[in-house]
């Protein structure tokens, strides 16, 4: 039986929708679900623990309320971080480089998981919200969601994956350049037009209903088939080759349909 108490955190709610289907919800209304360092480290920890649980088949990543999915980086936390930089230029560079790499690793967690993820973008969804969405398997947006690759407006280059993943996801590269270079707002319909999301829903409530129905459909399949399908697709999305992908799935499929392989399986992504 799923134990929600194992995942208690002041900024997240982790609920079981049905056996095998988990809803990870951002739950910090005071900051509109902005991410501090404590937040993104907790996010990584929760996802990795859920992925390690063999009974987890599908994860819905959403907000617990309609006003915001995430307002992005917690700027107050970032200001404290920058204000605390000490030492010479090399020391400052080394500290920031490690911090950024750790942050990237946390946000990229869904791309290393064999558990597929669904993301519902609603309300205010800025900066880091787009980075998070780009790592998920299936993306859904509320029609009036307020989306933006916002980093350029605060004097930063988006560095958590949007600029690296979206060119492989969206079809309209010109519009992507426009959104990234202006930081302008776009909505759910715009996100659908460029190929960022696969579905636009009228409001938060109908979005949650749709995502839950979708997740239950996925969850109705065999657990090892769900994970194998997600891992195979993710390997290719992450830059794998067709030939190696075919070998990987041959080993994986044989493991469940025949004997355990004598050749070690490919390391997890």
- pLDDT tens, 115-169? 999 999 999 999 999 999 999 999 999 999 999 999 999 999 999 999 999 999 9
Residues 6 or more apart whose CB falls under 8 angstroms from that of 118 comprise 58, 59, 60, 61, 136, 137, 138, 139, 140, 211, 214, 215
Query: pLDDT at position 165, please?
Result: 98
pLDDT at 210 (0 to 100): 98
DSSP string, 177-197: HHHHHH---B-HHHHHHHTS-
Q: C-alpha angle with apex 122: 77 to 78, nearest 5 degrees?
A: 10
Q: β-strand 68-70 against 117-121: which pairing, if any?
A: unpaired
pLDDT of 260: 59
What pLDDT shows up at residue 81? 86
Q: Which residue ranges in the chain fall short of pLDDT 70?
A: 259-269
**Structure confidence at residue 266 (pLDDT):** 46
Distance CA 165, CA 178 (A): 16
Q: How far is CA 180 from the centre of its chain?
A: 19
């Amino acid at each position: 039986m799923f134990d929600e108490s194992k995942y208690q955190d002041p900024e997240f709610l982790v609920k079981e929708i049905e056996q095998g289907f988990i809803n990870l919800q951002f739950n910090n209304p005071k900051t509109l679900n902005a991410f501090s360092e404590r937040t993104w480290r907790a996010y990584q920890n929760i996802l990795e623990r859920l992925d390690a649980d063999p009974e987890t088949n599908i994860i819905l990543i959403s907000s617990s309320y309609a006003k915001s999915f995430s307002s992005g980086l917690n700027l107050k936390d970032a200001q404290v971080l920058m204000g605390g930089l000490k030492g010479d230029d090399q020391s400052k560079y080394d500290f920031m480089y490690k911090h950024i790499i750790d942050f990237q690793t946390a946000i990229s967690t869904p791309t290393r998981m064999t558990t597929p993820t669904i993301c519902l973008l609603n309300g205010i969804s800025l900066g880091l919200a787009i980075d998070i969405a780009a790592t998920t398997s299936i993306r859904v947006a509320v029609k009036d969601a307020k989306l933006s690759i916002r980093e350029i407006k605060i004097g930063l280059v988006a560095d958590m994956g949007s600029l690296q993943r979206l060119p492989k996801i969206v079809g309209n590269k010109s519009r992507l350049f426009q959104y990234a270079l202006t930081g302008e707002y776009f909505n759910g319909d715009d996100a659908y037009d460029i190929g960022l999301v696969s579905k636009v829903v009228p409001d938060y409530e109908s979005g949650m209903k749709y995502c839950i129905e979708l997740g239950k459909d996925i969850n109705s399949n065999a657990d090892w088939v769900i994970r194998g399908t997600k891992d195979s697709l993710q390997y290719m999305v992450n830059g794998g080759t067709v030939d190696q992908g075919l070998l990987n799935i041959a080993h994986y499929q044989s493991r469940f349909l025949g004997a355990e392989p004598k050749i070690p399986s490919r390391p997890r992504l």
